Amino acid sequence: MITVSLLGAGNRGLDTYAAIAQKEFDDVKFLCCIDEDQERLMQFQKRFGVGEEALYKSAEVFFQGPRQSDLLIIATQDKSHYALAKKALRKGYDLILEKPVALNVEELLELEELSNKLERTVIVCHVLRYQKMWQMIKEIVDEGKLGKIVTISHNENIGHYHYAHSYARGSWRKKSTSGPLVLTKSSHDIDLLYYLVGSRIKRVASFGSLSYFHSGNAPKGHGERCESCAVRRSCRYEGERMYTSFGGFFPLFTKNKYTRRAVKEGLRSTDYGRCLYTMDHDVVDNQSSILEFENGVSATFNLNAFTRRMHRSIKVMCEYGEISADERTIEVSTFELQPLFSGFLKHLLHLDRKIIKRIRLYKPWDFSKYLGHVDADRLFIKSAFQNYRLKKQSLTSISESIHAHIAALALEEARVTGETVLIEEFMDKNRTK
């Protein structure tokens, strides 16, 4: 039996991780919940049937008492992770810890050192490593038939409406409260590149800005909130239209109710009903980066809001072939020896490559495989508890994850200063404030 407490019973903590664990495991027992929001505590209580004494409105009070479980899941908002994780480690908890683990180099290294010193397990929620697509790409690369990776082109296509929701109106809109976009959105992406290449990142350069989603582009005659806006009918991001057509996001502010009335009420009372052009957000909406790894591999990484679909796409270019993937399919092709003369004709007819694998990752109607980060959330939780039970190292231990966090912070430094940033130097400079 693995016993677990949950700190932060929001979208990730309760609706995702605890819900999946409850469904997948009989021997994982949720004992306590800590959340500042009474309604969230009630939802935990309803789901797990615990008594009042198992519910805490304050993390301070929870940590004053004795250790309550083997594991603690920390899924509060970004800025609180470091302090809560530090307290939890000292109290003797092993952790499933949401990313970002911390928001600066000093705190990241401190948590890594502390968990090693106390010999505590920390499993970081870099869930994408567990996704079928990334596991398959890693297998193909490691198999070696395509030769070594030479370079990678990777895109994090945020999706214009997802940016509008999370990064203009939502919790991740300000660097001062949650960190730069390249950390909050893309510690995942940097971690995936590091995982595929299998070598640490040596130096980075980066460029980007808040180019479109700002007050300069607010439509003429706009209001402060959508409900009172004179031009709402022609605005792509008008709340009711946006949230009822991209429904995936609205439970976050309708307290899990899926009705039009709940959407209208939520829009009236939360930031999600404000004009996104005139919000106080300051994170960039586009960032293009170049990374060089210690083993000589290079990668370009484009992170941007200006895409129709919300997905990641990658091209891994190896010595004898390439892998292209976009969360729907993976295609592996090799560079063929072309026959004399007819080779040019084959080239014109697009027949000059040999596709050795084309994998369709899921069927369009199979929502269970698409939702939850294309099933990665479920695979992550399964693996986290299985490994924890067997006392095996997880795929996303704190040491693996910290490097991606530090590289993401270095990318932001490179963007702001316009300099190429050497990771080792950046780390040393920021080790202690």
In the complex, the residues that contact ligand NAD under the rule CB under 6 A are 8-13, 34-37, 40, 59, 75-78, 80, 98-99, 125, 127, 171, 184, 373
Kindly state the smallest distance separating residue 65's Cβ from ligand NAD, in Å: 15
Q: Check if the beta carbon of residue 194 is closer than 8 Å to that of residue 405.
A: no
- Pick between residue 165 and residue 373 the one whose CB is nearest to ligand NAD: 373
- Pick between residue 80 and residue 278 the one whose CB is nearest to ligand NAD: 80
- Pick between residue 188 and residue 203 the one whose CB is nearest to ligand NAD: 188
- Pick between residue 43 and residue 421 the one whose CB is nearest to ligand NAD: 43
Kindly state the smallest distance separating residue 402's Cβ from ligand NAD, in Å: 15
Residue 6 gets the label, from left (phi > 0), alpha (psi -120 to 50) or beta, of beta
Q: Residue 339: CB partners within 8 Å, gap ≥ 6?
A: 346
Kindly state the smallest distance separating residue 90's Cβ from ligand NAD, in Å: 17
- Pick between residue 312 and residue 373 the one whose CB is nearest to ligand NAD: 373
- Pick between residue 80 and residue 338 the one whose CB is nearest to ligand NAD: 80
Q: Nearest to ligand NAD by Cβ — which residue?
A: 10
Kindly state the smallest distance separating residue 104's Cβ from ligand NAD, in Å: 15
Whole-number Å distance between alpha carbons of 415 and 302 = 13
Strand ranges (E), 18-170: 28-34, 55-56, 71-74, 94-97, 122-124, 149-157
- Give the number of other Cβ atoms within 10 Å of residue 235's Cβ: 18
Q: Given CA atoms 155, 159, 160, 164 in this order, what sign does their dihedral have?
A: negative
Kindly state the smallest distance separating residue 307's Cβ from ligand NAD, in Å: 18
Which DSSP helix (H) or strand (E) runs through 331? Answer: strand 329-335
- Pick between residue 59 and residue 242 the one whose CB is nearest to ligand NAD: 59
Kindly state the smallest distance separating residue 179's Cβ from ligand NAD, in Å: 9
Kindly state the smallest distance separating residue 170's Cβ from ligand NAD, in Å: 9
Whole-number Å distance between alpha carbons of 114 and 83 = 12
Whole-number Å distance between alpha carbons of 338 and 347 = 9
Tokens of 102: 């911390």
The amino acid at residue 105 is V
